[in-house]
A and B are shown apart, each in its own frame.
Chain A
Amino acid sequence: GQQLNQSPQSMFIQEGEDVSMNCTSSSIFNTWLWYKQDPGEGPVLLIALYKAGELTSNGRLTAQFGITRKDSFLNISASIPSDVGIYFCAGYYAGGTSYGKLTFGQGTILTVHP
């Protein structure tokens, strides 16, 4: 089956620093989604990407859909303490019976020191 490799597994940064995390897939996707999960909560959608090469921003967050359709990255600029949490990439290939069936990366645990 499809596998997503997400890195890094964890990051410890100072407030104000920029953050970058990425995901690579063993097969192509045509939708990439980035989520943030806080303790005791469900994942919250941050950014959705639908086209190869697409670069999308949401406030201090920027994500890109790789041109090979097998990778994506998420950048967070000028981190703040509330950015703490687990970030997941997820993707799927909307073909046949695969529509909507997300494959998730392992998650990146982000810690921000004030």
Chain B
Amino acid sequence: SAVISQKPSRDICQRGTSLTIQCQVDSQVTMMFWYRQQPGQSLTLIATANQGSEATYESGFVIDKFPISRPNLTFSTLTVSNMSPEDSSIYLCSAIRTADTQYFGPGTRLTVL
């Protein structure tokens, strides 16, 4: 399995500000992803974090709102920009190492006032 950590674990932010979430994996992985889980809902894929290149975004998510970096094989960041209360969610990173099994971090619980 892969051990994944995220920082911060939770935050309360003001409308219009931005928050950067960090994801660190304990060893090299082939792929990393970012998901959003709105209150009481299931998980929705935001984007694939590509190492050394621009992330690949899913329909409904754009780079200006959710810029993503992945400078190496074990680290990625997701920024939630110009936040509004509708961005209040749990943000989760995940990683695939081998055998197509995907592991998740503990999540970052974001509340926007």
B79 within 8 A of A: no
B42 and A106: CB pair below 8 A?
A: yes
Complex contacts, B99 vs chain A, CB 8 Å: 48, 50
Cα separation A106 to B1 with both chains bound (whole Å):
25
Judge whether A97 and B42 touch: CB under 8 Å: no
Which residues from chain A contact B66 at a C-beta distance below 8 Å?
none
Q: Which residues of B contact A33 (CB under 8 A)?
A: 101-102
Q: How many A-B residue pairs have CB under 8 A?
A: 60
- Could you say which of A1, A40, A50, A100 contacts B102, with CB atoms under 8 Å apart? A100
| Residue on A nearest B109 in the bound complex, by CB | A40
Kindly provide the distance from the CB of B34 to the nearest chain A CB, expressed in whole angstroms.
11
Which residue of chain A has the shortest Cβ distance to B93 in the bound complex?
Answer: A42
Among B33, B41, B43, B59, the residue within 8 A (CB) of A100 is B33
Q: How far is the CB of A34 from chain B (nearest CB, A)?
A: 11
In the assembled complex, the Cα of A88 lies from the Cα of B48 at a distance in Å of 20
From 1 to 57 in chain B, residues with beta carbon under 8 angstroms from any chain A beta carbon are 1, 4, 31, 33, 35, 41-45, 48, 56
Which residues of A have CB within 8 Å of B42? Answer: 88, 104-107
Q: Lowest 7 CB-CB distances: which A-B pairs, in order? A: A42-B104, A104-B42, A104-B43, A42-B107, A42-B106, A43-B104, A100-B31
